[in-house]
Amino acid sequence: NEAEFHCDGCGIILQTKNPSQLGYVPVQALEKRDEIYCRRCYRIRHYNEIAPINQDPSVYLQKLDEIANTRSLVVQVVDLFDFSGSWISGIHRHIGKNPLLLLANKIDLFPRSTKWGRLKEWLRKYANELGVKPVDIILCSANKGVHIDTAIAAIEKYREGRDVYIVGTTNAGKSTLINRILKEVAGLDAIITTSPYPGTTLDAIRIPLDDGKAIIDTPGIVRKDRLSEWVCPTDLHVIMPKNTLNPRIYQLKEKQTLFFGGLARMDYLTGGRQSFVCYVSNHLYVHRTKVDSADEFLAKHHGKMLSPPKDPAQLPPWKKHRIALSGKEKQDVVISGLGWIACGKEKGLLDVWAPEGIQVVTRPSII
Ligand code: GDP
């Protein structure tokens, strides 16, 4: 009965009937190997190729609800590069009374001068505002292996002999983190499929622990309000940073515009001369021009000099977000999946343009 077989990469139930459906594996592959991967995972592992998936986020959320009926530790992985975009809204309602440990991943992208204590406090405050009181917050980097020992120790401390559920949105680095933990704990090499493309882990995977309990890797929740979910794989390589961000500082006068490739634009309308620090992938082209000629400039260069996207028609048309800087505290303007612009303490008025449906928000400055 093939329904008993799960893919070793993503956990989905394997099937041999329909190649266009998820979990497909050729019969021969099912018979031969000790480790079995569905075709999708096989392709990711061997060819770095990905078949896009389209799944209903509400199905994932229902799966999360099952956690409320367990006694467990919930480990929520968030992506520091896209904190609000990688947050699972209403997480506390899904997990019941279980404690939550927050693992804030991808610290390797933050400049060395970052004040880590302050960052942690920032996260705590933010989590509290969203209704969550984490038992602890660990800053780590899954793929660079930073503070993984601290994360493991915290998991061991707070699970108190219970199961551990790992939750997060797609692309937060959940699979990388679990692989890293397994490697440190048991010396195992990568067994869960990771990739830079959103939505790699499809069904819950149970990883047994010595005491009869388990680490349960839940499917990543897809959030469509992030640019990282919309661009094609080639463009994703450009916008998703792999190394420490080099902050790019622009002294702007009123009526100046910054283009972020051809994915977003910020018009600085009023507020006098002030500096804006862009935290975006080092490979993303940022272009400064005048507000008055910005439309014309975009029309001429979109998809060419102003890229990614290579093909602007693949993305929704831009929507304008009017933002008033309060003048009370330093604020970041976040364009989900693309990065953020750290603004000064002065008052100011901005128009930020991004494809419709992409989250554009302000927050107290993170760095
Ligand atoms: P999942 O969807 O949450 O399971 O995420 P993955 O583990 O597949 O990781 C998504 C992407 O984030 C991959 O391209 C990883 O290489 C990358 N990634 C994971 N951890 C880190 C990290 O600590 N730092 C950086 N810069 N990238 C990471």
Range of the domain at 91: 57-223
Residue 143 Cα to ligand 1 middle (Å): 7
Q: 298 and 170 in one domain? A: no
Q: 332 and 264 in one domain? A: yes
Q: 195 and 286 in one domain? A: no
The model's confidence at residue 61, banded by pLDDT at 50, 70 and 90, is confident
Do 79 and 337 meet the contact criterion of CB atoms below 8 Å apart? no
Q: Which of 148, 171, 242 to mutate to test the pocket of ligand 1 (most atoms within 8 A of CB)?
A: 171
* Ligand 1 lined by 170 (C-beta under 6 Å): yes
Q: 351 and 315 in one domain? A: yes
Q: 265 and 196 in one domain? A: no
pLDDT score recorded for residue 2: 41
pLDDT score recorded for residue 5: 84
The DSSP string of 157-168 is: HHHTT-EEEEE-
Look at residue 233 and tell me if it is in a domain.
no
Residues linked to residue 257 through DSSP beta bridges, in sequence order: 267, 289
* Ligand 1 lined by 109 (C-beta under 6 Å): yes
Look at residue 326 and tell me if it is in a domain.
yes
Range of lowest pLDDT (59-68, 133-142, 231-240, 305-314):
59-68
Look at residue 229 and tell me if it is in a domain.
no
Whether residue 64 has pLDDT greater than 80: yes
Q: Whose CA is nearest to atom 14 of ligand 1?
A: 196
What's the burial of 175, exposed, middle or buried (CB within 10 Å: 0-12/13-18/19+)?
buried
* Ligand 1 lined by 244 (C-beta under 6 Å): no
CATH number for 103: 3.40.50.300
Residue 344 Cα to ligand 1 middle (Å): 30
Residue 221 Cα to ligand 1 middle (Å): 14
Q: 147 and 118 in one domain? A: yes
List CB contacts of 270: < 8 A, sequence separation 6 or more: 254, 348, 349
* Helical segments of the chain, H only: 27-32, 39-47, 57-65, 91-95, 116-129, 148-159, 174-186, 233-239, 291-301
Q: 312 and 203 in one domain? A: no
Q: 154 and 40 in one domain? A: no
* Ligand 1 lined by 105 (C-beta under 6 Å): yes
Whether residue 1 has pLDDT greater than 50: no
Look at residue 52 and tell me if it is in a domain.
no
* Ligand 1 lined by 201 (C-beta under 6 Å): yes
Q: Which of 190, 223, 256 is the last residue of a domain?
A: 223
Count structural domains, the chain.
3
Look at residue 231 and tell me if it is in a domain.
no
Q: 67 and 193 in one domain? A: yes
Q: 192 and 82 in one domain? A: yes
Q: Which atom of ligand 1 is nearest to the CA of 194?
A: 8
Look at residue 181 and tell me if it is in a domain.
yes
180-218 pLDDT, tens digit each: 888 887 755 555 555 555 555 556 777 877 788 888 888
Do 86 and 79 meet the contact criterion of CB atoms below 8 Å apart? yes
Q: Which of 164, 189, 223 is the last residue of a domain?
A: 223
Residue 361 Cα to ligand 1 middle (Å): 23
Q: 243 and 183 in one domain? A: no
Q: What average pLDDT is seen over the chain?
A: 88
306-353 pLDDT, tens digit each: 999 988 888 888 999 999 999 999 999 999 999 999 999 899 999 999
Q: 255 and 144 in one domain? A: no
Q: Which atom of ligand 1 is nearest to the CA of 176?
A: 7
Look at residue 232 and tell me if it is in a domain.
no
Q: Which atom of ligand 1 is nearest to the CA of 77?
A: 3
Look at residue 228 and tell me if it is in a domain.
no
Q: Which of 29, 47, 65 is the last residue of a domain?
A: 47
